[in-house]
Structure 1
């Protein structure tokens, strides 16, 4: 699965999805929460014989909500399970933004 395919699959949940962030303009303001962003975090390639043998791209799928929203988290988790993508999950309150951030760490192999 590619990054673009992941974003398309997440859009099926019904919330706005963007890579990294939403670009807000007067004609097209950033969406209100809940929304999802996807971004590359780091590579964890499998290496052998001084070569990157298998590309392993670690991504973060970030869900932003105004309150702790277990039902919305479940939608994201169910979609990741449907895509057969194992994930690790962390969550925090972003005081400055007044938003909950739930991060799902996933891997895309061979992208």
Structure 2
């Protein structure tokens, strides 16, 4: 099974601006214009010895685009980043920002 870190490496390889949780919008480093990606995760761990520890990672990659969904970028994420992971996809407008958010939620189980 693919590791969470590998999924993020694939997302970075798309060449879009990407940040964990959020972009820090400063005068020196303004937040990028869309399209861009945000990713984040939460995890549970189980197992008592070092040989049988399991991480259950709930991950999300969010694509932000101008005014409308970008189906070409969505297909790239699905084919180049999440091709070997089951995911749930939702798309919603963010009217106050004139953007669309397409969120990909997925789960990964890793032994460590």
TM-score, length-scaled by structure 2: 0.79
Unpaired segments of 5 or more residues in structure 2? none
Q: Which has the higher contact order (CA 8 A, sep 6+)?
A: 2
What is the CA RMSD across the aligned residues, in angstroms? Answer: 2.3
Paired position in structure 1 for 2:27: 26
How far does residue 44 in structure 1 lie from its aligned partner after superposition? 5.9
Mapped to 2, the partners of 1:21 and 1:104 lie a distance apart of 16
1:90 aligns with 2:60: no
Question: Where do 1:14-53 residues align within 5 Å?
Answer: 14-40=15-41, 42-43=42-43
TM-score, length-scaled by structure 1: 0.79
Aligned length: 105
Mapped to 1, the partners of 2:29 and 2:8 lie a distance apart of 20
Moved over 2 A (4+): 5-8, 42-45
In the alignment, is the contact (CA less than 8 A) between 1:23 and 1:29 conserved in 2?
yes
